[in-house]
Amino acid sequence: MRKALTLGSTAAENLVVEEMDVPVGMVKLSLQGKLVREFPALAGEKFSVQTINEQNCIVATIFCQRNDYEQRE
């Protein structure tokens, strides 16, 4: 993907938490709304997101590699 999934400040409202493993900091997210419209090939996918919480700062990292995904221009 040449484009990040984040679409400005509305990105959070277009993500759904499907599962959480709090002790290890793992969250599984799926797309909804604006993100599904922007990335229809990713609809229904669950993305594993690793989180870290250090000194009141939360960082989340996701990596998605799909060979069958075509980026819309």
What is the tens place of the pLDDT at every residue in 8-51?
Answer: 556 678 889 999 998 998 989 999 998 899 889 889 988 888 88
| Residue 50: inside a domain | yes
**Angle ∠(9,12,18) on CA atoms, nearest 5:** 170
Residue numbers of the domain that contains 34: 8-61
Number of domains present in the structure of the chain: 1
The pLDDT score that the predictor gives to residue 8 is 58
| Residue 73: inside a domain | no
| Residue 12: inside a domain | yes
Token digits of residue 68: 């069958």
- The DSSP H or E segment spanning 28 is strand 26-31
| Interatomic CA distance for residues 24 and 34, integer angstroms | 29
pLDDT digits (tens, 9 = 90+) for 49-68: 888 888 888 787 776 666 55
- The DSSP H or E segment spanning 20 is strand 15-21
| Residue 70: inside a domain | no
Q: Are 30 and 47 in contact (CB under 8 A)?
A: yes
| Residue 2: inside a domain | no
| Residue 30: inside a domain | yes
Most distant CA atoms of the chain, gap in Å = 40
The pLDDT score that the predictor gives to residue 52 is 86
| Residue 71: inside a domain | no
